[in-house]
Structures are given as C-alpha cells and as structure tokens.
C-alpha cells in the first residue's frame, strides 16, 4: 500500500510535527513499510482460529470479591499531614 505525501503531511500536522521535505519523504517510506507488513498479515489463513478478546487467553487473574470496608476518620486521615486545618489538607498554592 502506498501512502501519499499529503497524508504524511496531514499526520505530521495532527502530531504537531514540522517536517522538512526529506524528513516527510523518509517518514512516508517508513509508513509504507509498516503498512506492507500489515498487508502480509492479510495473507495468513485464520480459518478455525477462535477470535481473542482483550489479549488474554484462558482465565484472567484471580479477583477478590468487592466488599464494603470501614473508612478513616477525619482525624486519622489528617494525622500525618504536614499541615491541616478545618478538617482539610493544607497545600501550597500552585496557581498564581
């Protein structure tokens, strides 16, 4: 599959890249090569192969049951805070 230079320039624009003519041509060649490899995958016979979903084969990792647990009191949550006041963490101002 051949990719047009205009498509490469559009992709570069979307990626906020500024490419020289040589760089765009080099990228076009690389994208052509990648798309060529993808075209090769179309040649494979997948008859009788079950589709996979999520990239995992077999059962997933063991999962624990969700359960309701107790929460920290305000005092416990703020116990190790460098600064607190009126039931909240105090943090330095980051927006001028």
- The pTM of the whole model exceeds 0.85: no
Does some domain include residue 94?
no
Which stretches in the chain have pLDDT values below 50?
A: none
Which of 51, 4, 44 is CA-nearest to residue 25? Answer: 4
What is the CATH number for 18? Answer: 1.10.20
Q: Which two tokens stand for residue 87?
A: 């039931």
Tokens of 60: 């997933």
Q: CA–CA separation, 11 vs 8, rounded Å?
A: 5
What's the pLDDT at 57?
64
In a domain, 36, yes or no: yes
Tens digit of each residue's pLDDT (9 = 90 or more) over 29-48: 999 999 999 989 888 888 88
Q: Domain range spanning residue 30?
A: 5-42
């Amino acid at each position: 599959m051949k990719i047009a230079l205009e498509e490469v320039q559009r992709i570069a624009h979307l990626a906020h890249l500024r490419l020289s003519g040589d760089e765009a041509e080099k990228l076009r060649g690389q994208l052509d090569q990648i798309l060529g490899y993808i075209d090769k995958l179309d040649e494979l016979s997948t008859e009788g192969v079950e589709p996979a979903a999520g990239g995992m084969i077999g059962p997933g990792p063991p999962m624990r049951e969700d359960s309701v647990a107790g929460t920290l009191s305000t005092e416990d949550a703020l116990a190790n805070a460098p600064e607190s006041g009126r039931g909240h963490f105090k943090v330095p101002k980051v927006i001028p």
